[in-house]
Amino acid sequence: MTFRFVSRKVLGSLATLLFVVCFNFFLFRVVESDPVSALFRGRNISQQQRQQLQHDFGLDKSKPEQFVRYLNQTAHLNFGFSFETRQPVTSEISARIGRTITLVGISTLLSTTIGIWLGIIAAWRRNTPTDYVVTSTTMAFYAMPDFWLGLLLLAAFAESFRWFPTGGIVNVGSGATGLSHLVDEAKHLFLPGLTLTLAYLGEYTLIMRSSLLDTMGEDYLTLARAKGLRDATVRRRHAVPNALLPIVTLAAVNFGFVLSGAIAVESIYSWPGLGLATYNAIRAPDLPMLQGLFLLFSAAVIVANLAVDLLYAYLDPRVRTA
Amino acid sequence: MTAEVATPRVVGRRRIVWIRRRRALSRVWRMYRASKPGMIGLVVLLVFVVLAFAAPALASSSGLHAISTVQNPTWASPSKFGPLGTDNLGRTIGAQFLWGSRISLFVGLAATLLTMLIGSVVGIAAGFFGGRIEGVLMRITEWFLVIPFLPLAIVLASVLSRSLFNIILVIAITSWPFTARLIRAQVLSVKERGYVDRSRALGASRWHLTTRHIVPNVAPLILANTTLTVPIAILTETTLSFLGLGDPSRASWGKMLNEAFDAGAIGQHAWWYYVPPGLGIMLVVLAFTLCGQALEEILNPRLSERA
Amino acid sequence: MTGRRRSVFVVMLALGIALVAVAPSASGATKKNDIVLRVGTTQDIDSPNPTVGALVSSYEVWALQYATLTDKAAADFKTIPGLAESWTASNHGLTYTYTLRKGLKWSDGQPLTADDVVYTVNRARSEQWTNFDSTIAHITAKVIDPTHLSLTSSIPDPKLPIMDVYIVPKHIYEKVTKKGLASYKGLDGIGSGPFTLKHWSKGLSWEMDANPNYWRGRPAVDRVIFRPFTNADAMVAALKNGELDAAENVPSSSFRQLQKAKNIVGVAGQQGGFDEISMNSGAGVGGNPALKDLRVRQAISHAIDKQTIESRVYNGLTTVADAISPSANPEWIPKIPADKRFNFDLAKANTILDDAGYKDTNGNGIRNMPKGGADITLRYAERSESPYGAPIREFVTGWLRKIGIGTSVKVYNDTQLTPAIGKGDVDMFAWGWVPFVDPDPELSYFQCNQVPTKADPSGYSNDASWCNPTYDKLYKQQNTELDHAKRVAIVHQMITLMYEQAPYVVLDYSPDFQAYRTDRFTGWVKQPANIGPVIFSNTSPSYFLLKPISKASSGGGLGAGAVIAIIVGAVIILGGGGLLLRRRQATAGERE
């Protein structure tokens, strides 16, 4: 990879990031709202107090001034203070990001691995009952709204059977430590994790299946089989590694998106991560918080895209000249 | 295609085009009929379309309104109040399900049409004009591709007032870039074909090239892509409505789920409230996806090479 | 092959465990033998800083963390000694002198003296702290000696000697500047009440520890853990499972079920809250001209069937109401005479509108303004934040249609609705109020000077834009009337007047739905007695009075062993299935 190529890609991503930063500002300034008075319904506050609060939030300045102030702060990774909690947005986000990465990370990991595995089975045994069962089941999960799946699992395993807790990330106040604490966390993680895993499983299975079918049609595989290699060996040594590339790409790009895709699932399971924070911030509405979250989600996608581009170029020299 | 040229009859140019199209269509239909998943999808879809059209005949809309169902029991299970039970206000689930299918399908289709319109115009313009116009259009497309879809849709939906039209608009704004990118790639490949080159060398105008060569060749892909975009549009509408961002006065399936969740249907074990709308969404999405995949396999030249 | 695949599984498992371990834990401080009370609610706190926060859950934190100068009796809100053990009036009731208890201490051991009280009152007044201002705006405090202080009001104040603002520790707050106060987190955890804030993990929990220096003594409960839920049904399930000991804001839909559950008591706690349909009566900005006509508002009052809303929307758990309730104490609510009542009667409503000249002149089913004017279509705002917003809208718009009044519905969240009302973009909405104990603040909201203006569309409380000079005159009278019986009579007169003028259609007195478990603690106290809530009440006395029944472990859910068994089982089944498939393929491959 040439330095020129890498720097061009990085600069391109930075330009995209800049666009997102500007877009965010204008998007959120469209929301006509008055957080100050909403906070104090039912209580008298004086005009002077109101002005003070508006000043604190920077709402008394003109839009261009607010924009300059916003750019300057964003450059310093300062996204202002949450309207709701009056704490820096960065600290609000960093308090929650770990939980979302835990949930989304484990789900992505599981859905890709299981998806790849099922895809291989379906492709290798295409047009058999196994293929039909795998394909139609995963398609069904793919077609469900993820939150509806979450509702069903919640109703069945938490409401009716009471096997798993209905929400949160730990049984607060149980005082558990060590291994039992870990088990408690795993119990809370199970249902939301299962929901996301099943919801994203379909896409990976179907893509792996079709990608493997593509690869299997290629000449060198026919050659390998003609050489008398056993099917399993052909699949493992030749077909699967080549078919994996698109799915790894998809997983990497998706991770950026999935980070923000857990909004409905997190709110159903009261999972206090970024998705729930987004949901609450929209309801408030808490503009600085939303801006920060939005920027983070977009940046995650941009970074994931850049990583994929560079990885691709590294693996496949033809791309570099493109 | 060569068959028509060999026909000895003298026919008008328009007529040739017409015959050619009709034959192509029947060829597509023959291939489509051979696809079992495609046919299953089509049948399911037809059932739902019929149900949606027949909703006024099957269930009176009075079942939707709380003031006209005051005599009904609340939270009645299907065994107590057929065919699908009632909700927290005594409204019948059956009527809500049938009438909701109209809204869900309408939003899905309308949003897809708008998406296709924006995406196709941008994609064809970019692919065809090339140069600076393409650069600008594709840059914008890429930027929009990077912005996470769902949060953008949610923010837009909460900024705009809650109406059916705005939901459609939000879905179109968030999903056009995918279409634009796809179409532009197809336009580029069509442009490189020999007959387009020849036509251009013969002095055909841009307008002529676009309407006579590019659009007809891109159209099948647009159709396949449309069928695959509808399920995404329906799922997006569902999610937005579930989050309480839908049109308050029109019940879609997503809105039913939102109301079921808010009314505590889970705690009431009122499965008859939250299962039917979800099932409906799943089946319709599945049906559109199956149809779309079958069409794509037939119409997308890159994919059909494999077959 | 098998070896490599196994190693992939091991890596995944390790990654998974690492990720779980990385997840921040709530707290590690709870010891096994601590007596812990676990309370679920549907709202997180916004800020534990009492000069900044505004949410109901934050009030619960302050009610526990800060003792007040005078306290309120659990049974009837009667003023009883708090930090002050006695007080005397002088100067025609304008000045009160308070004597503090001996040996008062903050939770960190520092002495609590008259200096802390005076510091709080005077600083709150000069800096206009939001949660304090309405109580102490006219009051000046003076230190007499470490256990004596005086409060002097510049106007006759019927509320004195009550002084229920939260007294903050001077040794902490004097380090926070006026400018720094808005962003001060308030996590110091130093207070004078029964419990003080120990830990707050946003969106997850906040924990309060027993204060050994509380003037009534150390509470029997060692720690209270509050857990906010976004999904109220999940909270109910957690209560049933025994993960919680009490829950606040239980959805009314699951309330009846909970009452039937074993070891669980449901409480529909009244503390004066009421729900109303508000109509823009036209004294402010914009608004539909039809609603300026008293006859239209009265017709609408006749067209809303409160009984049906009560049984269908509130599941028969509230009390149908006539007039507003200005206080948590029901003595302030007048009885509306039968001949003045707006009973549900669609025919009568139609007659009133016909007689008033609102006829459907263009035959579209919607009445028009007199002389062939525009259709009467009211802009109805539905609140997205209330679970009852949608059902009430269903009913109300349905009935309005029956009396020939159209509606266009728009959904708002509370933040957007507040300015929309002020700007006159809304004609009608359903909302509610929860008053304080003294009726003065609630009554003040309906004065003419609280109507939104063009210059300041969000600085208002009178959300019906209703202005009546007689009401204003009576308000000023009660505000300085020191004779209790006379004051009650004036307040009754004001509320009856408001009922007749119909800016509000008061639907019901809405209780706080709560539930608690009876198998771990006893001593739950309702405030006020018999009808009130047990937690999240005005001074929340329950927490201090609770006694544990036994050291029964918190049950519910699955044991750790069972979960591990399930996970292991799942892995075996998945792996086994894969292995099986692979075997079959291998033989198939070999056969080929």
In 3D space, the residue among B22, C205, C438, C231 whose CA is nearest the CA of residue A172 turns out to be C205
Contacts of C4 (CB under 8 A, 6+ apart): none
C558 touches chain A (CB under 8 A): yes
Provide the percentage of residues in chain B whose pLDDT is more than 90.
25
Q: B265 forms bridges with which residues in the sheet? A: none
Q: Closest to A183 (Cβ–Cβ): which among C202, C241, C563?
A: C563
Q: pLDDT tens digits, residue range B142-185? A: 888 878 878 888 878 777 777 889 899 999 998 899 889 888 88
- Please state, in angstroms and rounded to a whole number, the distance separating the CA atoms of residues B180 and B140: 11
**The amino acid at C418:** T
Contact yes or no for B266 and C233 at CB 8 A: yes
Asked if residue A243 is part of any domain, the answer here is yes
Average pLDDT of span C202-211: 87
**The amino acid at C262:** K
Asked if residue A142 is part of any domain, the answer here is yes
Please report residues of A whose CB lies closer than 8 A to that of B148: 256-257, 259-261, 294, 297-298, 301
Q: Which two tokens stand for residue C162?
A: 């009550």
Contacts of A165 (CB under 8 A, 6+ apart): A158, A171, A187, A188, C238, C241, C243, C557
C383 touches chain B (CB under 8 A): no
- Domains of chain B, start order: 26-306 (1.10.3720.10)
Domain range for A243: 94-321
Asked whether residue C519 carries a pLDDT value surpassing 80, the answer given is yes
Omega into C161 within 30° of 0, i.e. cis? yes
Task: Identify the H or E element spanning C521.
Answer: strand C521-522
In 3D space, the residue among C305, C304, C284 whose CA is nearest the CA of residue C453 turns out to be C284
The answer to whether B284 and B232 have CB atoms below 8 angstroms apart is no
Please report the pLDDT score of residue A102 as a whole number. 87
Q: How many CA atoms lie within 13 A of C457 on its CB side?
A: 16
Asked if residue A78 is part of any domain, the answer here is no
CA A67 to chain centre: 28
Task: Report how far apart, in Å, the C-alpha atoms of C251 and of each of B142, C47, C470 are.
Answer: 45, 25, 40
Where helices occur in C217-343 by DSSP H, the ranges are: 232-241, 252-260, 294-302, 306-312
Q: Among C235, C258, C308, C312, pick the best mutation site for testing chain B contact (most B Cβ within 10 A).
A: C312
- Please state, in angstroms and rounded to a whole number, the distance separating the CA atoms of residues A268 and A194: 13
Tokens 């807790």 belong to A165
Asked if residue A211 is part of any domain, the answer here is yes
Please report the pLDDT score of residue B307 as a whole number. 34
B48 touches chain A (CB under 8 A): no
In 3D space, the residue among C299, C440, C454, C448 whose CA is nearest the CA of residue C378 turns out to be C299
Average pLDDT of span C280-299: 91
Cβ–Cβ contacts within 10 Å for residue C580, how many?
A: 10
Contact yes or no for C20 and A181 at CB 8 A: no
Average pLDDT of span A199-207: 87
Distance between A55 CA and the closest CA of chain B, angstroms: 24
Q: pLDDT tens digits, residue range C425-465? A: 999 999 988 888 889 888 988 999 888 888 777 667 888 99
The answer to whether C201 and A250 have CB atoms below 8 angstroms apart is no
Contacts of B224 (CB under 8 A, 6+ apart): B292, B295, B296, B299, B300
Please report the pLDDT score of residue C586 as a whole number. 38
Contacts of A250 (CB under 8 A, 6+ apart): A203, A204, A207
Average pLDDT of span B86-93: 88
Q: Among B140, B142, B155, pick the best mutation site for testing chain A contact (most A Cβ within 10 A).
A: B155
The answer to whether A194 and A103 have CB atoms below 8 angstroms apart is no
Distance between B83 CA and the closest CA of chain C, angstroms: 21
Task: Report how far apart, in Å, the C-alpha atoms of B218 and of each of B46, B142, B295, B298, C386 are.
Answer: 26, 21, 14, 14, 49
- Domains of chain C, start order: 5-63+193-269+512-577 (3.40.190.10), 70-179 (3.90.76.10), 274-509 (3.10.105.10)
Phi and psi based region of residue C99 (left: phi greater than 0; alpha: psi -120 to 50; beta: remaining): beta
Distance between B293 CA and the closest CA of chain C, angstroms: 28
Please report the pLDDT score of residue C37 as a whole number. 92
Please report residues of A whose CB lies closer than 8 A to that of C578: 117
The answer to whether B247 and A141 have CB atoms below 8 angstroms apart is no
Please report the pLDDT score of residue C371 as a whole number. 82
Please report the pLDDT score of residue C487 as a whole number. 93
The answer to whether C406 and C360 have CB atoms below 8 angstroms apart is no
Q: pLDDT tens digits, residue range C374-413? A: 899 999 998 877 778 888 998 999 999 999 999 998 887 7
The answer to whether B136 and A244 have CB atoms below 8 angstroms apart is no
Tokens 């005082």 belong to A175
Please report the pLDDT score of residue C322 as a whole number. 92
Q: pLDDT tens digits, residue range B273-298? A: 999 999 999 999 999 988 988 888 88
Please tell me which residue of chain C has the smallest CA distance to B67: C395
Please report the pLDDT score of residue C281 as a whole number. 92
Asked whether residue C1 carries a pLDDT value surpassing 50, the answer given is no
Please report the pLDDT score of residue A317 as a whole number. 57
What is the ipTM score, two decimals?
A: 0.85
Helix (H, G, I), strand (E, B) or coil at A115: helix
Please report residues of B whose CB lies closer than 8 A to that of A30: 159
CATH number at residue A201: 1.10.3720.10
Asked if residue A89 is part of any domain, the answer here is no
Please report the pLDDT score of residue B277 as a whole number. 94
Q: Which two tokens stand for residue B213?
A: 């060569």
Please report the pLDDT score of residue C582 as a whole number. 42
Contacts of A27 (CB under 8 A, 6+ apart): A294, B155, B156, B159
Asked whether residue B24 carries a pLDDT value surpassing 50, the answer given is yes
Any chains having at least 3 CB pairs less than 8 A from chain A are B, C
Q: Which two tokens stand for residue C421?
A: 């009302």
The answer to whether A241 and B220 have CB atoms below 8 angstroms apart is no
Which of A211-215, A281-285, C124-128, C534-538 has the weakest average pLDDT? A281-285
Task: Report how far apart, in Å, the C-alpha atoms of B237 and of each of A185, C79, C109 are.
Answer: 33, 55, 58
Name the more confident of B301 and A107: A107
Please report the pLDDT score of residue A228 as a whole number. 67
Q: Which two tokens stand for residue C92?
A: 């025609």
For B248-286, b where at least 16 C-beta lie within 10 A, e where not — what string? bbbbbbbbbbbbbbbbbbbbbebbbbbbbbbebbbbbbb
Asked whether residue C475 carries a pLDDT value surpassing 70, the answer given is yes
B234 touches chain A (CB under 8 A): no
Please report the pLDDT score of residue C521 as a whole number. 92
Expressed in percent and rounded to 5, the helix, strand and coil fractions of chain A are 80, 0, 20
Q: Which two tokens stand for residue B274?
A: 């939250």
Q: Closest to B259 (Cβ–Cβ): which among C233, C390, C411?
A: C390
Asked whether residue B306 carries a pLDDT value surpassing 90, the answer given is no
Q: pLDDT tens digits, residue range B48-88? A: 999 999 988 888 888 888 888 888 888 888 888 878 888 88
Please report the pLDDT score of residue A1 as a whole number. 58
Asked if residue A59 is part of any domain, the answer here is no
Asked if residue A231 is part of any domain, the answer here is yes
Please report residues of A whose CB lies closer than 8 A to that of B235: 145
B235 touches chain A (CB under 8 A): yes
Task: Identify the H or E element spanning C97.
Answer: strand C95-100
Task: Identify the H or E element spanning C409.
Answer: strand C406-412
**What's the structural domain count of chain A?**
1
Name the more confident of C296 and B89: C296
Please report residues of B whose CB lies closer than 8 A to that of A198: none
The DSSP secondary structure of C114-179, one letter per residue, reads HHHHHHHHHHHHHHT-HHHHHHHTTEEEEEEETTEEEEEESS--TTTT---SPPPPHHHHTTS-HH
Contact yes or no for A260 and B150 at CB 8 A: yes
Burial class (CB in 10 A: 0-12, 13-18, 19+), C145: exposed
**Average pLDDT of every residue of chain B:** 84
B112 touches chain A (CB under 8 A): no
Residue C22: pLDDT band (50, 70, 90) is very low
